[in-house]
Amino acid sequence: MDFDTPVSGFGRHTQRWDDMDPLRGVAGTDALPMFVADMEFRAAPCILDALRNEIEFGYMGYFGNPAPVAEAVSHWMETRHGWSFSPDCVQFTHGVVQGFARVIEMATEPGDGVILFTPVYHSFRKKIPAKGRTLVESPMVLRDGRYEMDLEGLAEVLTGREKVLTLISPHNPGGRIWSADELRAVADFCVAHDLILISDEIHMDLTFPGAKHIPTSVAAPHVKDRLITITAASKAFNIAGGETGLAIIEDAALLERFKAAQKAYGGTPNRFGMIMTKAAFTDGADWLDAAQAYIAENFRIWRERMNALPGVSVMDMQATYLTWVDFSGTGMSHDELLRRIQQDAKIAVSPGPDFGPDGEGYQRFNIAMSRGNLTRAADRLDAAFADLQ
């Protein structure tokens, strides 16, 4: 469980390192990646052992018998989150974004509306219009330093063509955990307006010590007939390259609809992704506990350093490793901010406007990195904004 030793993936076909230049225009082996949502850390020993065992076995064919993996998922959710369901409710997708797209195709027709609370994870914002559906953005309210959903405001703009509401829980990029009351309010809204509810809970296992994620199904069991939870082990255990997502559907009729949508595309799960997922949910708890504590301390340091910059503030967070940093107090344009961060400090980030119009003035920084590299990033930003101090 060594999180302090920096890992460099340059030249190893890693998006985190090798795509900094083509995606963000940040070049050089001294550049620091804080954009792609995966960790700098090596995967848990139990996952590496499972992969070594598979390689020694030597068979690289199609994956079969997913039942043990589904059982590991079900057991993890019950013991870690108090969420009980049959393993038969688990469907496997080629990543969470693909699972999201499959639900959109299943539950809507071209032109139908899909609701997102913004600012929000950029891949979902892109996927909706790419599927020929209408993106319905519901701006959240910033109150007392955190985002809150504005369900009353959303109700006023509905046209009747909306079919799906998507909730990111915990929130990305705000990093907050929704309360049981907030989850029930969203669920009741979906009932009142006859909406399918997608609950993206991919960051559910990346809570900080002392914080508790509540699955939407646990908070609002009365909406299971319209609820599809999409999640994965990928973020918490840094195995996104396995491209293995989960769709957990507890209603029998809704589950059959999803299975039919899956069957239309064919294919089998990624063999190594399934092996890694099973290992993570079977033996990964100790590693995850240590990673959560390390990331929480990273956030404490990062918030202190960033808040010390004039005109800059970091949104408080309870989960994820994706920090939402407000630079609006500097008075700088978006282009000027990116120039200082990406060209002067040589840090690749996720620009705030990618998460919606209300992301203007913000930048998202991934702090799942070694403590040494985190400090280097803060030092570089100090230098890039030295004229403000």
Give the tens place of pLDDT for each residue, 76-119: 999 999 999 999 999 999 999 999 999 999 999 999 999 999 99
Q: Do 232 and 302 lie in a common domain?
A: no
Amino acid identity, position 131? K
Statement to judge: residues 86 and 35 lie in one domain = no
Residues 24 and 73 in one domain: no
Q: Under a CB-based contact definition with an 8 Å cutoff, are residues 368 and 39 in contact? A: yes
Whether residues 292 and 278 fall in one domain: no
Query: What is the pLDDT, as a whole number, of residue 202?
Result: 98
With respect to residue 50, please indicate whether it lies within any of the assigned structural domains. no
Provide the 10 A C-beta neighbour count for residue 147: 22
Residue 1, in any domain of the structure: no
- Say which CATH number the domain at 340 has: 3.90.1150.10
Confidence label for 1 from pLDDT (cuts 50, 70 and 90): confident
Beta strands in 119-244 (DSSP E): 134-139, 141-143, 146-148, 162-168, 196-200, 227-231
Reduced to 3 states (helix: H, G, I; strand: E, B; else coil), residue 366 is strand
pLDDT at 267 over 90: no
**The two structure tokens encoding residue 83:** 């969420």
The pLDDT assigned to 28 comes to 93
What is the total count of domains within the chain?
2
The answer to whether residues 96 and 26 belong to one domain is: no
pLDDT at 389 over 80: no
CATH number assigned to the domain comprising residue 183: 3.40.640.10
Say whether pLDDT at 278 is over 90.
yes
Q: Are residues 39 and 137 in the same domain?
A: no
- 134: alpha, beta or left, given left = phi > 0 and alpha = psi -120 to 50? beta
In this structure, the answer to whether residues 228 and 179 fall within a common structural domain is yes
240 and 163 part of one domain: yes
Please provide the size of the chain in residues. 389
Give per-residue pLDDT as tens, 66-80. 999 999 999 999 999
Same structural domain for residues 290 and 248? Answer: no
Taking residues 247-254, what's their average pLDDT?
A: 98
Q: How many CB atoms lie within 10 A of CB 10?
A: 13
Q: Indicate whether 143 belongs to any domain.
A: yes
Q: How far apart are CA 250 and CA 330, in angstroms?
A: 48
99 and 233 in a single domain? The answer is yes
pLDDT at position 265 is 87
Q: Residue 119: how many CB atoms within 10 A of its CB?
A: 28
**For range 209-234, the mean pLDDT:** 98
Same domain, 241 and 311: no
Amino acid symbol at 113: G
9 within domain boundaries: no
Distance of alpha carbon 337 from alpha carbon 328, whole angstroms: 10
Across the chain, mean pLDDT equals 96
The answer to the question of residue 8 being in a domain is no
Q: Which residue has the tokens 């296992």?
A: 205
Check pLDDT > 90 for residue 7: no
Contact status, residue 205 vs residue 150, Cβ threshold 8 Å? no
Two tokens, residue 188: 């009741």
Q: Answer whether residue 373 is part of any domain.
A: yes
What is the CB neighbour count within 10 angstroms for residue 216? 27
Least confident stretch, 55-59, 286-290, 385-389: 385-389
Within-domain flag for 3: no
8 pLDDT more than 90: no
Average the pLDDT over 360-389 and give the result: 96
* Residue 298 counted as domain residue: yes
**Among 249, 282, 315, where does a domain finish?**
282
Same domain, 87 and 207: yes
Which tokens is 319 given? 């989960």
User: What is the average pLDDT across 272-297?
Assistant: 98
Q: Pick the last residue of a domain from 233, 249, 282.
A: 282
Q: Tell me the residue range of the domain where 338 lies.
A: 15-44+286-388
How far is residue 123's CA from residue 125's CA, in Å, rounded to a whole number?
5
Closest CA to 263 of 127, 61, 105: 105
Of 266, 282, 298, the position where a domain reaches its end is 282
